[in-house]
Amino acid sequence: MSEPGVAVVIEDDEDVRNLVDAILKSAGFVVHSAATGREGVEVVRHQHAAVVTLDVGLPDMDGHEVLRQIRQFSDAYVVMLTARRDEPETLTAFLTGADDYVKKPFLPRELRARVTAMMRRPRTEDGLTLPREDHGGVSAASEPARGDLARSGPDNGVITHNGLVLNYKTRTVFLLGSPLTLTRSEFDLLFDLLRVHGEVRTRADLVRAARGDYYDDNSYISEADERAVETHIGNLRRKLREDPQSPRFLQTVRGVGYRLAPRRPD
């Protein structure tokens, strides 16, 4: 198994910084630390980090602004750490580009398990599901015939539905021939909804789909986890240019979760 690579801890509290440093080193990372946002951005830039833990309440910069700057050049997995409990903080973290969000105080094994689960998830060269034809992505010219949920072949990894084309092997998505740029979580949720042929997926199901192996069928799913899924679904609908009155792809099942919208005629 390959080494997990470099992790960067951006945290102004020395005790927390040392704890996270120790957790990540025990997971096999080479760890670098920073006590301020500006320093952290530069460490991530120069060390080519694979994982970043980022405190929201830094002394010089808001953690969300630090994340925005990191996302301009890095596809590192980012876990936001905060003692704040309000819902807008969680939503802002995911909207800014965080991969996970952990509230302080946290259990060391929880943080390590979340990071390990993220590292198992496929990642592309630039961290997003950008189409890359030279790597086997689906181009508009090769888009399968539109229609009901169907695979265009037994082994090519392509699923189509109502003009949407998803290739889960190359992690590319096209809508009516145009490429979509999705985050890892958005891609995983869309794939999960497509692959079950219109079956209703609860919010807890989708949390597991987005977070991977950390959550098994018996794991506790928090309200914050479910709200994060709702945020990702909202972002997906915006990128899919959904009509709220007549959704083409994602339907809400009130009080339960979401499902794929029915097939439409070509």
**For the segment 173-232, what is each residue's pLDDT rounded down to a tens digit?**
999 889 998 888 889 899 999 998 889 999 888 888 887 654 455 566 777 778 888 888
Are both 191 and 223 inside the same structural domain?
Answer: yes
| pLDDT for residue 150 | 40
Same domain, residue pair 186 and 87: no
| Pair (199, 109) in one structural domain | no
Question: Structural domain of residue 236, as residue ranges?
Answer: 133-260
How many CB atoms sit inside 10 A of residue 223's CB? Answer: 10
Angle between helix axes 63-70 and 87-96 (nearest 10 degrees) is 10
Asked whether residue 157 is assigned to any structural domain, the reply reads: yes
**pLDDT higher than threshold 60 for residue 8:** yes
Query: How many separate domains does the chain show?
Result: 2
Give the CATH number for residue 208. Answer: 1.10.10.10
Residue type, 175: L
Residue 62 has pLDDT above 70, yes or no: yes
Note whether residue 253 is domain-resident.
yes
Taking alpha carbons only, the member of 126, 131, 139 closest to residue 172 is: 131
Q: Is the pLDDT of residue 171 over 50?
A: yes
Q: What is the pLDDT of residue 52?
A: 96
Looking at 54, 89, 120, the residue that finishes a domain is 120
CATH of the domain at 15: 3.40.50.2300
The pair of structure tokens assigned to 94 is 């995911």
Question: Averaged over 57-78, what is the pLDDT?
Answer: 91
Angstrom distance (rounded) from CA 141 to CA 126: 23
E strand or H helix at 103: strand 100-103
- Is the pLDDT assigned to residue 83 strictly greater than 50? yes
pLDDT digits (tens, 9 = 90+) for 102-151: 888 888 988 998 888 777 765 543 333 333 333 233 333 333 333 333 43
Residue 152 pLDDT > 90: no
Q: Are residues 78 and 106 in the same domain?
A: yes
